[in-house]
Amino acid sequence: MSATTYPNYSPGLEGVIAGITKISQITSATSSLIYRGINVHELAEHGTFEETAFLLIHGHLPTAAELEHFNKMLVEERNIPYSILDCLKLLPHKMHPMDALRAAYAMLPAYDPDYHADPTDHAANVRKATRIIAKASTIVTAAWRIHHGQEPIAPDPHLRTAANFLYMLNGEKPDEFTEKVMDASLILYAEHTYNASTFACRVTVATLSDIYSGIVSGIGTLKGPLHGGANEEAMRMLLDIGSPDKAEAWTRDALTNKKKIMGFGHREYKNGDSRAFYLTKVAKEIGVRKGNTTWGAIADTMEGIMLKEKGLYPNVDFPAAYAYYLLDIPIDLYTPIFVIARTAGWCAHAIEQLDGNRLIRPTCVYEGPTDVAWTPVALR
């Protein structure tokens, strides 16, 4: 159906203003993204995920004392209840990690000390947000290890979020550069205005449900390959190409036959995804440091062809895919990593929504039949 059939209708709600926020802004013309007014490149290069999460939740960068207190709270809240670990052990092994993650977050609110707090209690919601952010990487790694016949590794109180994720995944503490790359990816994935999962989260909490319900909605929405699952599909695409000498032929064949090429283009950016610029640089540097430039070389070829032939730049999912692969992270965990980061943005939006709540209830256009007569079952 053409959008012009109904002047006020926009397919996919493209261009429709659904709310007002102070959390983040995308400027398409300049390919810039800011969190609370701060350029995301500054945060990724100079900041930490913990500082970014505090910024999103509290509205300002933390002082040294505030950051120390916030880090202490995150450390104290990282562990998950043993009963949730037991439930993770009962889940089918064929279950995707995103489904295990969703199941765990569906159970967590009953264990939260603020479980009975009013949904609009700002202070309680901030405390819940801190617990939600703290537990994400613990759940992801515990579920993964359990489903692969391994015991979960307890979080290390001396490690920050990025390093702790890698440590709890494989039992090895990362070097400084590896931690920095992981940390930067979490910062870049942490928030992105009214994307599909964030909007789903806001719709959920707007009913005066609770933040945990919003997180579950966000996870379910993010699972789709047109949103969070794109980084997984991008890496599978790169593996299918296999080597730099095949990249041009593969890409041109895909363009000729109108195959989906994952990791390129973005509705909100016309001149390149702001987040991809920095992550592309460090992803290719990982390859150089590890002596494996295969994926960076394939990326160079694909990026050149896609820009020349289609005017499309890579989005953040493209460099994230091969960055994570070079860090030996299983492909099925790429989207759960997205969740670890995005809990900060989702929580910030849930709090903002509940601070000045109005039920989100759009209208629609009906095109079905009218005046259909009732027919008794015997005559149908």
**CA-to-CA dists, residue 299 to 1, 110, 182, 236, angstroms:** 36, 45, 19, 13
Q: What are 336's strand-pairing partners?
A: none
How many Å apart are CA 339 and CA 215, to the nearest integer? 9
Provide the CA 200 distance to its chain's centre, in angstroms. Answer: 13
Phi–psi pair at 340, nearest 5 degrees = -50, -45
Catalytic residue among 112, 266, 273, 349: 266
Q: Which residues contact 364 (CB under 8 A, 6 or more apart)?
A: none
What letter represents residue 164's amino acid?
N
Active site residue 317: yes
Provide long-range contacts, Cβ within 8 A and 24+ apart, for 108-113: 108/80, 108/81, 108/84, 108/132, 108/135, 108/212, 109/210, 109/212, 109/213, 111/81, 111/84, 112/212
Active site residue 266: yes
Please say whether the dihedral angle defined by the alpha carbons of residues 273, 274, 275 and 278, taken in this order, is positive or negative: positive
Token readout for 193 is 């205005």
Catalytic residue among 112, 183, 273, 317: 317
Token readout for 3 is 């959008």
Q: Which residues contact 332 (CB under 8 A, 6 or more apart)?
A: 96, 97, 144, 232
Virtual torsion, Cα 186, 192, 194, 195, nearest 10 deg: -70
CB 235 within 8 A of CB 321: yes
C-alpha neighbours within 13 Å on the C-beta side of residue 187: 31
CB 153 within 8 A of CB 145: yes
How many Å apart are CA 281 and CA 285, to the nearest integer? 6
What letter represents residue 279's amino acid?
L
Catalytic site positions = 266, 317
